[in-house]
Amino acid sequence: MTPPRLVLDTNVLVSALLFPSGNVSWLRHAWSAERIRPLAGRETTAELIRVLGYPKFRLSDADRQDILEDYLPFCETVIVPNPPPAVPECRDPFDRPFLELALAGNADALVTGDADLKTLADVFAVPILTPAGLKRQLPDNGCTGT
């Protein structure tokens, strides 16, 4: 069975990557076991790298490199065309690249906890799910780990 192709927003990714006992840590196990296939684009990856550099996380360059090595090799790279696909108007302009990536990559879902993105669920062509909603839809809850 082909794993679902998913756009994971930055907050979901940071939670999965930095908090091994958190409530979305199962995502890390799911992508490493190839039960899900994260999609990555230039802008969304740049956003992840930027956020991992926040002082509050206290990550060294080597820490950030290790974290990215635990994620990026499992991703399918998607080139978002220029101009990007039309997406619904969203309150936060930083959410647009995730919507564009979902459309350009023919994602099965966009996974987020972001309230601004969740409000678009009824008007966006790609399903918008919370991590918990995704977990309920995956066989065996999507993971073998936590």
* CA dist., res. 102 & res. 8, Å (int): 9
**What pLDDT shows up at residue 144?**
46
pLDDT band at 139 (very low <50, low <70, confident <90, very high): confident
For the segment 11-54, what is each residue's pLDDT rounded down to a tens digit? 999 999 999 999 999 999 999 999 999 999 999 999 999 999 99
Beta strands in 27-97 (DSSP E): 37-40, 76-77
Nearest Cα residue to 114 out of 63, 104, 124: 124
Q: Which residues contact 37 (CB under 8 A, 6 or more apart)?
A: 3, 4, 5, 6, 31, 74, 75, 76
Q: How far apart are the C-alpha atoms of 49 and 121, rounded to whole Å?
A: 27
- The values of phi and psi at residue 131, to 5°, are -55, -40
Domain ranges in the chain?
5-142
Q: How far apart are CA 55 and CA 66, in angstroms?
A: 17
pLDDT over threshold 90, residue 143: no
pLDDT digits (tens, 9 = 90+) for 57-71: 999 999 999 999 999
> Which percentage of the chain shows pLDDT scores above 70?
95
Quick check: 142 pLDDT over 90?
A: no
Q: Each residue of 83-101: pLDDT tens digit?
A: 999 999 988 888 999 999 9
CATH code: domain 5-142 is 3.40.50.1010
Q: Phi and psi for 113 in degrees, rounded to 5?
A: -115, 0
Here the tokens at position 122 are 């009824």
Predicted TM-score (pTM) of the model is 0.92
